[in-house]
Amino acid sequence: MPTPYAESRLLPPYQALFAVDAKDFTGLPALQHGPVSQLIPDLVDQALDRAGLQDLRASKRFPANTGDGVVFGFDPALLPFVLWPFLGVLDDILGAYNRQSVGPRIRLRASVHVGPLPEADGNGTARNDTHRLLDSRPVKAILAAASEEVTHLVTVISQRVYEDAVLGGYTGLHPDRCVEVPATVEGKSFAQRAWLYVPSPSGNLVQAGVRPREGVAQHADAAAGQGSGEAQEQHPATPASTHYSGNTQHVNEGAAVMGNVGRDINHTGGSTSYRGTNQHWGSGDNVAGDKRIGESGDHR
């Protein structure tokens, strides 16, 4: 058994990792466990082929069928292509299958991570963290809340992958399609910053700030128009509106605002506690929508 910190050793090569598992797999009748367990890797392989990643399919590293999903490693150079277009293609294939299937719907959680792992078996912290991300609260909550008719896949992307592939500009997945979340797992000492990507969010997720693939360009154009000098001249007394896209807000004291705010806000009050996703404040108001204070007919 190697002793940590006793001497320096070669770092194992970096491996990219992809994992999926199915929602409500254990709730299926036992008779369906085997067929669904075989179906999931078939759907993933179909998506790899259709996304032009045949070489990745043929060269998976330490692949494993987990019963309710699959996990495998691959060359980190292919991470940008796994993020885009593979995830979107997988979502499309799941949607097509679910629309024509007479059996149980296949809705998946996925995680994408990268880290040093031995090529022989792929065992190590990076692999453990891949599964922790997959089991994290935000991923499960979003898939449970979304319409099963529309949202077939929810992906959590590790901070390391997000910084290197997404913020680095190497992938077709734009940062505005991702939502920052605190990835924690019930009963586990695990907490990491991560990013959710939902290829086909249903209406309630769009309202919450998770935008569909085709909606990002229009939003960027609209935001640019709101910030133009012409708009400022037409409404000189109105501050620029705040758009909430799902990224984390931390407010120690005051008001966390989503929407437009008119006139002044005066707040006095004690501590307010809120348990939920992506908003944390010590005291004040959390506002969704319009808020006006200080005139007849005040409302919140």
Q: In this predicted structure, what is the pLDDT of residue 214?
A: 57
Class for the domain spanning 14-215: alpha beta
Is there a contact between 107 and 152 (Cβ–Cβ < 8 Å)? yes
Q: In this predicted structure, what is the pLDDT of residue 95?
A: 97
Helix/strand/coil (H/E/C) assignment for every residue in 168-213: CCCCCCCHHHEEEEEEECCCCCCEEEEEEECCCCCHHHHHHCCCCH
Contacts of 66 (CB under 8 A, 6+ apart): 19, 21
CA distances from 76 to 121, 164, 286 (A): 17, 10, 41
Tokens found for residue 294: 């200080």
pLDDT digits (tens, 9 = 90+) for 214-224: 544 444 444 44
Q: Mean pLDDT across the stretch 163-170?
A: 98
Give DSSP secondary structure letters for 4-50.
TTSS--PPPPEEEEEEEEETTGGGS-HHHHHHHHHHHHHHHHHHHHH
Domain boundaries for CATH 3.30.70.1230 within the chain = 14-215
- What's this model's pTM, rounded to 2 decimal places? 0.71
Dihedral of the alpha carbons of 131, 137, 143, 144, in degrees to the nearest 10: 130
pLDDT digits (tens, 9 = 90+) for 90-125: 999 999 999 998 889 999 999 999 999 999 999 999
Mean pLDDT is lowest, of 96-100, 192-196, 293-297, for: 293-297
Is there a contact between 158 and 165 (Cβ–Cβ < 8 Å)? no
**69-74 and 14-22: which strand pairing?**
antiparallel
The partner residues of 256 in beta bridges, in order of sequence, read 286
Q: In this predicted structure, what is the pLDDT of residue 83?
A: 98
For residue 243, how many other CB atoms are within 10 A of its CB? 13
Is there a contact between 239 and 268 (Cβ–Cβ < 8 Å)? no
pLDDT digits (tens, 9 = 90+) for 218-266: 444 444 444 444 433 333 333 333 233 344 444 333 333 333 333 333 3
* Half-sphere CA count of 289, side-chain side, radius 13 A: 3
Percent of the chain with pLDDT over 70: 70
Nearest to 162 by CA among 142, 177, 151: 177
